[in-house]
Homo-oligomer: A and B are copies of this chain.
């Protein structure tokens, strides 16, 4: 099941430099693990924004929420979730 997810990041200016570096490193590792596992299908930077547009392929809503809720940057993010379905014009639709 596919979802488009847009994440806007707003790091507070007074975030401790070490906490910040650590959180960003954990976010990257967390994302890359899920990419390798096949659930975080795509991640793109939105040009000129501290934001990404991502595609997730997950078993269900519960799993998507679990993934997003546990993002190391979750508390600094505004998240928008769009459920997707197969498009009838998709050449992969057979």
Contact = CB atoms under 8 A, between A and B. Distances in A.
User: How many of chain A's residues touch chain B, expressed as a range?
Assistant: 35 or more
B86 A44 contact: yes
Contacts of A55: 42
A18 interface: no
Contacts of A88: 28, 45
Contact of A83 (B12, B27, B47, B87): B47
A80 to B, nearest CB: 8
Contacts of A89: 27-28, 31-32, 35, 43, 52
9 contacts: A4-B44, A35-B90, A42-B90, A43-B90, A45-B65, A47-B85, A48-B80, A52-B89, A62-B85
